[in-house]
Amino acid sequence: MSQSREIETLLLLVRAGIYKDAGVLSDFPKLRDDQWEGVYAHAKRQTVSGVVCDALSFLDEEKIPPYKLLLRWVARTHKIESAYAHMGKNLGYLIGLFRRSGVEPVLQKGHSVARFYPNPALRVCGDIDFCFTPERRAMADNIISVNGVSVRRSPDSSSSYCWNGTDVEHHTWLIQLHSPFHASALREVLGECSTMNVELLPGVKATVLSPLEDLLMINVHIMKHSFGVGIGLRQFCDYALAYVALMPQIGEEAYAEACRRLGIARWTDTLHRFINSYLANPVCLLPYISDYDSERAVRLLFDMVMDGGNFGHYRTEQLRGRWFHKMGTLLSFLRHASLWVRIAPAEALGIMMRLVRGQMI
């Protein structure tokens, strides 16, 4: 089996896992042991091992992976579930700590996005992202410092630390657009923003963005990393599931209008075409909101995703170290700058300006 065939198999299993759809695997082939090893390696790179392992339960016994590999896969999935539970405990503790001090954080991505999955614990954890106003961000940083944990500051005005084995970041932006021409539109969108309280785990309630801003945040997060060092398949799963869950509360036209106002309509079409091409939900294809033909961009994006994996970590030319990482991000952006400029010209310009100034990592 060629690598492309292994990737096709991975995509089938991902679709079956995120949509809980056994029908996707109705014609699933019987694979050799080495072919299964290739699928497993790709699943790790894309941080979708958990949802893919869950999809294996849909296969007939004679088509499942070899026993030794299956044991490794199940063990890895158990670690994913344990990490989710551990992060959930830390999340609950930190939210309580901030609330007792009168500082209410808004949870971004992570466990907030995991709630859209059929089994949230199977989504691989990254870090915890909290958003505060600049003044309350300083208060939150101080709360952490008082509790004996060192807080690091970044050039992009965020701060970070490790709490009981979990990486945490404090931000001051709900949606991070870099376009200097759409700042007022972003302020208007966020000016209408509201939040809601959701239960993520038993006893753990968090404040999250309202549906429109939540989906826009996930959208823009994928765009930022796609234009930089790269993005993995997991983030596209996040968006696909969030779209299905949140769109009834948003409305397709309201979402399309917000994307146009923020200058990301062409990018959103690229994102939707990617999902429709590789992660399609047979009962819910995502609509297009511009007349831009993004077929070439979708192919490039797919190659970038499969080559680099989760946030580009597996790209062979990935540069190491903080300064080199910044240069790697700039070089990655410049490699496809002509294409990004056509898809989101104002945003591409803003990203390039911040990269040159060293304000993005």
Would you place residue 61 in the very low, low, confident or very high pLDDT band (cuts 50, 70, 90)?
Answer: very high
Looking at the chain, how many residues does it have? 361
Inter-axis angle of helices 183-191 and 252-261, nearest 10: 140
Looking at per-residue confidence, does 272 or 2 come out higher?
272
Out of 3.30.460, 1.10.3470, 3.30.420, 3.30.530, the CATH code matching 101-209 is 3.30.460
Q: Report, as an integer, the average pLDDT of 170-177.
A: 91
In whole angstroms, what separates CA 185 from the centre of its chain?
Answer: 24
- Provide the mean pLDDT of the chain: 89
Q: What is the pLDDT of residues 320-355, one digit of tens each?
A: 544 445 555 666 667 767 777 888 888 888 877 776
Whether the CB-CB separation of 343 and 293 falls below 8 Å is answered with no
Q: According to the model, what pLDDT value does residue 349 have?
A: 81
Q: Report, as an integer, the average pLDDT of 182-209.
A: 89
List residues bridging with 152 in a β-sheet: 160
- Indicate if the pLDDT at residue 319 is higher than 80: no
What percentage of the chain reaches a pLDDT higher than 70? 89
Q: Is the dihedral of CA 54, 58, 61, 65 positive or negative?
A: negative
Q: Is the pTM of this model over 0.95?
A: no
CA dist 121 and 110 (Å) reads 11
Residue 195 corresponds to which tokens in the numbers above?
Answer: 């939040």
Rg (CA), the chain: 20
- Indicate if the pLDDT at residue 207 is higher than 50: yes
Q: What is the pLDDT of residues 282-316, one digit of tens each?
A: 777 899 998 888 788 899 899 889 987 666 665 54
Please state which of the ranges 77-91, 156-170, 279-293 shows the lowest mean pLDDT: 279-293
Strand-strand pairing, 106-108 and 128-131:
antiparallel
Q: What is the pLDDT of residues 248-274, one digit of tens each?
A: 999 999 999 999 999 999 999 999 999
Q: According to the model, what pLDDT value does residue 324 have?
A: 47
Among candidates 125, 203, 124, 204, which has minimal Cα distance to 166? 125
CA distances from 285 to 64, 241, 277, 282, 288 (A): 29, 12, 9, 7, 10
Beta strands in 151-299 (DSSP E): 152-153, 159-163, 166-171, 195-201, 204-209
Residue type, 319: L
- Judged on CB neighbours under 10 Å (0-12, 13-18, 19+), 71 is exposed
Q: 40 — phi, psi (to 5°)? A: -60, -45
List all residues 6 or more positions away from 176 whose beta carbon is below 8 Å from its beta carbon: 220, 221, 224
Among candidates 29, 24, 89, which has minimal Cα distance to 55? 24
Q: What is the pLDDT of residues 221-237, one digit of tens each?
A: 999 888 877 789 999 99
Helix (H, G, I), strand (E, B) or coil at 198: strand
Q: What is the pLDDT of residues 12-46, one digit of tens each?
A: 999 999 999 999 999 999 999 999 999 999 999 99
Q: According to the model, what pLDDT value does residue 2 have?
A: 46
CA distances from 153 to 62, 128, 137, 156, 325 (A): 53, 16, 11, 8, 17
Q: According to the model, what pLDDT value does residue 1 have?
A: 41
Q: According to the model, what pLDDT value does residue 323 have?
A: 46
Residues of the chain with CATH 3.30.460: 101-209
182 DSSP assignment? S
List residues bridging with 195 in a β-sheet: 209
